[in-house]
Structure 1
Amino acid sequence: MIEILAEMVRQSPYTKDGHAGSGMGLLLAQLSNVASRPGLRARSLPAMRQAWWRWTTDGPQAATPPVEELALIVRYANNHGWLKQLRRPDCNSLVRRLLDELNVELKSAKRSREVKWENAALNATWTLVDFLEKRVVEIAQGDAEEEAMPVSWKVQAEVKTMMRVFTETVVSSLDHPREYFSEPHETDSYLRPHEGWPDVFRQMASEISEILIGAANEYEELEVSQTPAAPKRKKLIRPMPKDAGQ
């Protein structure tokens, strides 16, 4: 842990190459803010200096930070590239464990967040589906410019466009100014501060991809099961037992 914290001092722009000076105060103030949690105030700079000294000393007054606090600091440093030069296997192993701890914590609250979003997502979905149905009606009535396309292709193209435009619109809206933030120079949009967003976007892409690939596999199996010449016909609906209903 001490080596990881020392690497932060060496690689952060506040104290590049270990030249702390007045930059150390800026670094500690930033890390104190990063490690604060909802309902808990960030440490004052004197308190953070004292804590940092205890975390980085080997003497009898040495201490370790709470795991969650250390994990938040490590995630911030890792996202900013301050830990790229770490070479010791034990240090890299500790970094991975701390990041995994945060991921477990986030996953444990995932279902709770999903429940709170379900009604809002449902309402938004029906709004999109209503417009999709209007487009399908227009397609059914004929489109002189695309008559050569099978109707199913046209509907699929509409769904693809809906999903892409919706995603693009949501991502774009995150960067719009939010007037109600107390510090508009730092948090005037959901994307500021930028820390962590690259990983979040990649995780979102992976999760959405998993959902769509799962749907693709499911419908592929359905198509195979409905092909008479298929060598292995999958039974999606199990037959009822002979004594059913008796």
Structure 2
Amino acid sequence: MSTSTTERPPTPGRPHRRRRLWTALAVVAVLLVLAAVVGPRIYASVQEGRAAAPLVTGGAAPAAAPSTAATDPALEGGWTIAPGGTAGYRVDEVLNGQDVTVTGRTDQVTGDLVVSGGQLTAATVSVDLASVSTDSGRRDDQFRTRVVDVARFPTADFALTAPVPLGGLDVGASIAVALPGTMALNGATREVQLPATVERTAEGSVTVTGALPLTWADFGVQAPDLGFVSVEGTGTIEFAVTAVRA
């Protein structure tokens, strides 16, 4: 008695399905490589477009020598920072080797100034850190918790520590000054020289703009480093405010 085996015919279309599967896997691999290489560049270009323009044109104002010109008596007395001022930070990130500039902004800025004897003799400025925002809510959450302990230290504060001459600040004129003072941030207070430009407007107000370079570690701030994205250890605090008669 003999037995015979019957060969099973090949399944139609199986080689074609395998080729399609390998082709699809190859396409996915290429897309992943492109996402890893091109994605950060696209993100960087988009973020650069979203970064707010510097509040100080051309960088921080240089310190100016004290002016001997007479000061208008109309400047004498108390001033207060009007609503609508702007303050925030500017910092560089590195995303997979691509440089990205990030800006945080808030209009919650308060303060007072005093001019006496032709000099700025007192000045305090406070910025509400909890209201500082960027274009990313997730980044803002990190800033308010891991970067700066906003719950414990809700404001950044500048206080003038020595008089600054304002001679020559006529209506329509501007002068560059260096404001000696202290900066309090994240529970640390440091002495700083704040470069600023003071301008007297035709409307009777005074605008003050400035940019202060900082090393975050000086204020106990740990710049985030998540591997694929890291934040530079230095940055700039920027502000533009208008003072009106108190």
- With normalisation by structure 2, the TM-score equals 0.23
Q: Which has the higher strand share?
A: 2
Q: Which has the larger radius of gyration?
A: 2
Q: Which has the higher helix share?
A: 1
- With normalisation by structure 1, the TM-score equals 0.23
Higher relative contact order (CA 8 A, sep 6+): 2
